[in-house]
Structure 1
Amino acid sequence: MTVLVAPKALANHTARDFKMLIDGRWEAGEGQPIERVAPSHGVVVSRYPAGTSADAERAIAAARRAFDHGPWPRMTASERSGVILKAAQLISARAEELAYLDAIEAGKPITQVRGEIAGAVDIWRYAAALARDLHGESYNTLGDSTLGVVLREAIGVVSIITPWNFPFLIVSQKLPFALAAGCTTVVKPSELTSGSTLLLGEILEEAGLPKGAVNIVTGTGPAVGAVMTAHPEVDMVSFTGSTGVGKLTMTNAAQTLKKVSLELGGKNPQIVFPDADLDAFIDAAVFGAYFNAGECCNAGSRLILHKSIAEDVVRRVAALARDVKVGDPLDPSTQVGAIITPQHLDKITAYLDGAAGAGARIAHGGEPLDFGMGQFMAPTILDGVTPGMAVAREEVFGPVLSVLTFETTAEAIEIANSIDYGLSAGVWSRDFDTCLTIGRRVRAGTVWMNTFMDGASELPFGGTKQSGLGRELGRHAVEDYTETKTLNMHIGARTSWWMPKADKLA
C-alpha cells in the first residue's frame, strides 16, 4: 500500500490577487481574472489577470523600446551582473514565499520546491558571473592590411514562455541568461502557476532592473503566447512545454525567421545491466519515476532491464515504491504531491487503461487516490511493456514507470533510440566500457552514468530529436541570446579591382 499523507484544510486562507507587469507598471487587466484552484486542496489560491493579445502587444512594444532606447543593453557587463546578483540575493531572502506559491499552485511537495528555489538562486548567481565573461574574438592573422573582430551582441527582444511543472526553476533557466546578454524580455508563465513568476517581477524591480526590460503577461497560449511567438518585433523565442505546442511555436516563429530555443518532452530510459549496483539503482529508479509526480520532462519513465535481473528489479522497485509518501504538498514529509488538473489525471488513467488492454501488467499502484479534495495518483509500475505500446513511446507525464527488457547491448540501444524523443537517459553498470558505449550511442542530450537526474548550473541541458532545439545552462547559455557580428577592417590604401594601377597604364 502507498503511504498516504492526507491534505489538511487551508485554515484562514485568502486567495492572493496578482497583477501583471508591463513597461514598469503593475496592471490588473480587464475582464474576469484567472482563478487558480490548488490541485491538492481544491480551493482557489491565486487570481491572475487574463491577459489579451493587446496586452501582449503592449508588452512587446515596451520591451522593444527598452532594447532600442533604454539603458539595459547599454550598461556595462559589470553593471548588469550587479543587478542579476542582487536579484539572486533577493530570491534567496524570499525563498519561503516563492516555495509556498509553487507548492500550492502546482501541487509540488514543499521540501522539493525549497530545493528548486535554492537551485534557482545558484543559476542566477552563475548567470551574473557569465555576464562579465561574454566576449567576442579578434583575428590579426589575416594579413598586414586586415584586422577582423567578431562581436557578440544581444539578440534583442526575447519572448520567454514557461510551463506549469517547474514554475520558478524553469524561468530561472532562461531569464537571467537573456538579461546577462543585454536582451529585454516578455515572459508568459503558465496560466496555472503564474504566482512565483509575478513575484519575481517584484524582485527584479527591487534589484534595480530598468522598466521595460522584463515584462510579465499572464494568460493563455491562444490569447498571449500566440502573439509572443509570431510578433515581428520579437527577435527570439525561448519555450519550454509539450512537443506539440513546441511545433506550433516553431511554425509561428518561422513567419519572421526568429531564433527559437525549445525544451520539450521526453521519454527517458534507464538501461540496467546485471553487474550494476542494484541498491543504488533501485533508489534512483523510484526517484526518477516519481519525482514531481512524474510531471517532469526528465522523468526516468522507462526502465530497460536485462532479462536476467528484470523480475528481481521489478519486485524491489515495487517494494520501495510502497514507502513513497503521497499527499499534502505542504507537509514536509511528502515526496509525491498532487496531479496538476483533473483533466490531466484522466489522461494518465487513460494511458494505464490502454496499457492494460495491450497486455501490460500493473505491478504496483495504478489507481487515483481519494483524499476528499484535490487529485492524486498512486506511484505506478507497469511490467511486461513492449516497445510498441503507447505507454512506452509517449510522454505520460505522471507517476507511471514502464518496464521493458533486453538481452544484448545492441538491443538495449535500439529500444532506447526507437522513440521520437531524445532528452536524457541513464545507464547502470560497473563496467565503464559499457557505460561509455551506451553514452555515445544513445541519442539524448544528457546521459547519466550510475546516477540519474543530477545536474549543475555549469552543465548544458536540452534534447535531441523531438525533445527540442538548443541548450540551457552551461557557459554558453548567455551566448544563445546573442548574435555575432563581423567587423572586417582594412588598414592603409586599397586598390580598386576594376581600376588598373597607373604604372600598368603606361
Structure 2
Amino acid sequence: MTVLVNPKALVDHAPRDFKMLIDGRWSEGTADPIERVAPGHGVVVSRFQAGTRADAERAIAAARKAFDTGPWPRMTASERSGILLKAADLIAARAEELAFLDAVEAGKPISQVRGEIAGSVDIWRYAAALARDLHGESYNTLGDGTLGVVLREAIGVVSIITPWNFPFLIVGQKLPFALAAGCTTVVKPSELSSGSTVVLGEILEEAGLPKGVVNIVTGTGAEVGAVMTSHPDVDMVSFTGSTGVGKLTMANAAQTLKKVSLELGGKNPQIVFPDADLDGFIDAAVFGAYFNAGECCNAGSRLILHKSIAEDVVKRVAALSEKVRVGDPLDPQTQVGAIITPQHLEKIAGYISGAADGGADVAHGGKALDLGRGQFMAPTILANVTPDMPVAREEVFGPVLSVLTFETTAQAIEIANAVDYGLSAGVWSKDFDTCLTIGRQVRAGTVWMNTFMDGASELPFGGYKQSGLGRELGRHAVEDYTETKTLNMHIGGRTNWWMPQTEKLA
C-alpha cells in the first residue's frame, strides 16, 4: 500500500539553523552551511554548520583540556550518574522535537522514531546505573609482601562518529557510556541528519555537564571525521557506518594506535525450517526487511528457506508486503518512509536490476515510487537468488529481500556464513536443538531464535568479521571506554637483587 506525501506537511516549517558546540560555546563555521533537503518532502528543513579541520582541532583541544584538568573525570560516579539521569529525563521531555527532526532529516516514519527516542531514554538510564558499578579488582593472594590492585580509568578523549540512519539512537549507544566512564568527547553526526544530536548538546548543557566534556562538530567526514580519527590527542574512536569507511577509520587510528570500536555493515540471514511457526515468521520477515526502509545494518535482508516451503513462503511474504504502508514520514500510519538521497535510491535500483539480469525473479515490487515528493522505493522481494550474486553478498541498505534455499542444516549454515559480514542472524524452528545448532555455528554477534530484531539495553550488540570490532550496550559497555592499570604494592623491605647469593645466605 502506498500513500502520497502530504505536500502541506512542512509548509509552515521554516528551515531550522543549527550551530556547533565547542568548549561550552555555540559557534558558527566559516564556510557556507549545509542545507538538508527532507528526503520525504523535497524541501529544505535544516541548515548545519560546515565544520572545518580547524573546528575539529578546537573541539579536540577542548575535550583534551576538559579531561586533563576539568572536573568530569574527577567527579564521583554518583555525581556523573545523576547528570546522566537528568539528561534522560530531559530527552524524554523533548522527545517529540527529537522525533520530528529525525523523521524529516532522515525520512524515517515518525511512529518508528518515537519508539527509538523512548529506547534511547532507557539506554541513558542504563548507562547512568553502570557508572556507579564500574570497578576494578584486588589480589591479596600474591604472598605476604605483595598486594595487587587493578584500576579501571577513563581512557581519555573519545571521538564519536555516527551515521544518518539512526541519528539519535546510535549516539545514545555510545555517548552515555563514554560519559559514565569519565571520558570527554567530540561527536560528529552525519551531515545528512545532525539536528537531533545538536539538540542533545542543549540537553546536556541543561543537565549540568561541564563545558568541553561533549563537543559537537557538524560537517563532512573528509573535513571533520578525518581529523577526529587521526589526531594524536584523541585516545579512542567509536564509529558506526559502512564497512568501507570503517576500514579507513581504522587505518587513520592506526597512526597513533588508538583504541577503535567499529559497528559496521551486515548481510543478515533468517534461516527457516519446515517446522517453524510460519505465521510469526512471515510478519518478522516483512518487518526485518523493510524496517527503516531497509536502511539498517541489522536488516534481515536474506531469507534462507528450506526448499520444501520456499514457494509458499515467498507468496505469503509478497502478500503481506502488499499491505505495507509506504509514504509520508510524518504520517503516524506510515511503516516505510523515504530513501535517504536520490543517489542511494539509484544504488538500490542498480542492485535490483543487476539481480534480475543475473536470473533472479522479482516476486514483488522492484521499482522506485513516485509519491509526488521525495524519493521512495517499493518493498521488494527477489526470489531464486543464488549465493554468488552481489545482492546476496553485499549490503544493499534498502527495502530489498533476497530469497535463497537450502536442503540440509549444514547447507543453511554454509550459505549464512558465506559473506564478509557477521552482525546478526535469525533461525526459525520449533526444535530447539536445531535453533541451538544454528546459533552456535553461524558466525554473528547476535542470533535471534523464533523472533527477529528484538533488543534490550542489557544485551551486547556488535559483529563478527567485517561487521566490526567491539560491542555496544550490555553491562560491560562502560568498560570499553576505560584502560586498566595495575598497582603492584610491596609491603616491608625488599631483597637486594645485586647482593651475591653467598652474602644473602650469610
Same fold, judged at TM 0.5 (above): yes
Residue by residue over 1:78-120, the C-alpha shift from the partner in whole angstroms, topping out at 9 and shown as x without a partner, is 0000000000000000000000000000000000000000000
Aligned to 2:5: 6
CA shift, 1:503, in A, is 5.4
Q: Give matches, 1:378-397, under 5 Å.
A: 378-397=378-397
What letter corresponds to residue 69 of structure 1 in structure 2? T
Task: Specify every segment of 5 or more residues in structure 1 that has no aligned partner in the other structure, as ranges.
Answer: none
Provide the aligned length of Structure 1 versus Structure 2: 505
What letter corresponds to residue 183 of structure 2 in structure 1? C
Aligned to 1:448: 448
Query: Secondary structure of the residue that 2:262 maps to in structure 1?
Result: strand
Aligned to 1:486: 486
TM-score (norm 1): 0.99
RMSD across aligned positions (CA):
0.9
Query: Secondary structure of the residue that 1:192 maps to in structure 2?
Result: coil
Quick one: distance in 2 between partners of 1:64 and 1:260? 18
Aligned to 1:173: 173
Quick one: distance in 2 between partners of 1:181 and 1:371? 47
Residue by residue over 1:191-216, the C-alpha shift from the partner in whole angstroms, topping out at 9 and shown as x without a partner, is 00000000000000000000000000
The answer as to whether partners of 1:7 and 1:40 remain within 8 angstroms in 2 is no
Query: Secondary structure of the residue that 2:286 maps to in structure 1?
Result: helix
What letter corresponds to residue 346 of structure 1 in structure 2? E
Aligned to 2:358: 358
Quick one: distance in 2 between partners of 1:442 and 1:14? 49
Quick one: distance in 2 between partners of 1:12 and 1:224? 33
What letter corresponds to residue 81 of structure 1 in structure 2? S
| Segment drifting more, 494-503 vs 340-349 | 494-503
The answer as to whether partners of 2:20 and 2:26 remain within 8 angstroms in 1 is yes
Residue by residue over 1:205-233, the C-alpha shift from the partner in whole angstroms, topping out at 9 and shown as x without a partner, is 00000000000000000000000000000
Residue by residue over 1:114-167, the C-alpha shift from the partner in whole angstroms, topping out at 9 and shown as x without a partner, is 000000000000000000000000000000000000000000000000000000
TM-score (norm 2): 0.99
Quick one: distance in 1 between partners of 2:6 and 2:322? 19
CA shift, 1:7, in A, is 3.0
CA shift, 1:373, in A, is 1.0
What letter corresponds to residue 17 of structure 1 in structure 2? D
CA shift, 1:5, in A, is 4.4
What letter corresponds to residue 3 of structure 1 in structure 2? T
The answer as to whether partners of 2:4 and 2:372 remain within 8 angstroms in 1 is no
What letter corresponds to residue 339 of structure 2 in structure 1? I
Aligned to 2:468: 468
Aligned to 2:55: 55
Task: Specify every segment of 5 or more residues in structure 2 that has no aligned partner in the other structure, as ranges.
Answer: none
Residue by residue over 1:275-322, the C-alpha shift from the partner in whole angstroms, topping out at 9 and shown as x without a partner, is 000000000000000000000000000000000000000000000000
State the percentage of identical aligned residues. 85
The answer as to whether partners of 2:91 and 2:203 remain within 8 angstroms in 1 is yes
What letter corresponds to residue 276 of structure 2 in structure 1? A
Aligned to 1:182: 182
User: After the TM superposition, which segments of 4 or more aligned residues of structure 1 sit over 2 Å from their partners?
Assistant: 2-9, 500-506
Quick one: distance in 2 between partners of 1:73 and 1:449? 41
Quick one: distance in 1 between partners of 2:181 and 2:505? 53
Quick one: distance in 2 between partners of 1:193 and 1:130? 29
Residue by residue over 1:14-59, the C-alpha shift from the partner in whole angstroms, topping out at 9 and shown as x without a partner, is 0000000000000111121000000000000000100000000000
What letter corresponds to residue 134 of structure 1 in structure 2? L
CA shift, 1:181, in A, is 0.1
What letter corresponds to residue 346 of structure 2 in structure 1? D
Residue by residue over 1:226-252, the C-alpha shift from the partner in whole angstroms, topping out at 9 and shown as x without a partner, is 000000000000000000000000000
CA shift, 1:4, in A, is 2.5
Query: Secondary structure of the residue that 1:308 maps to in structure 2?
Result: coil
Aligned to 1:274: 274
CA shift, 1:504, in A, is 4.3
Aligned to 1:128: 128
Aligned to 1:376: 376
Quick one: distance in 1 between partners of 2:502 and 2:417? 67
The answer on 1:347 being equivalent to 2:347 is yes
The answer as to whether partners of 1:59 and 1:217 remain within 8 angstroms in 2 is yes
Quick one: distance in 2 between partners of 1:6 and 1:136? 55
Quick one: distance in 2 between partners of 1:223 and 1:475? 35
Query: Secondary structure of the residue that 1:440 maps to in structure 2?
Result: helix
Query: Secondary structure of the residue that 1:325 maps to in structure 2?
Result: coil
Quick one: distance in 1 between partners of 2:504 and 2:414? 69
Aligned to 1:81: 81
Query: Secondary structure of the residue that 2:402 maps to in structure 1?
Result: strand
The answer as to whether partners of 2:276 and 2:430 remain within 8 angstroms in 1 is yes
The answer as to whether partners of 2:5 and 2:372 remain within 8 angstroms in 1 is no
Aligned to 2:146: 146
What letter corresponds to residue 60 of structure 1 in structure 2? I
The answer as to whether partners of 1:8 and 1:328 remain within 8 angstroms in 2 is no
The answer as to whether partners of 2:5 and 2:373 remain within 8 angstroms in 1 is no
Aligned to 1:330: 330
Aligned to 1:419: 419
Quick one: distance in 1 between partners of 2:119 and 2:91? 11
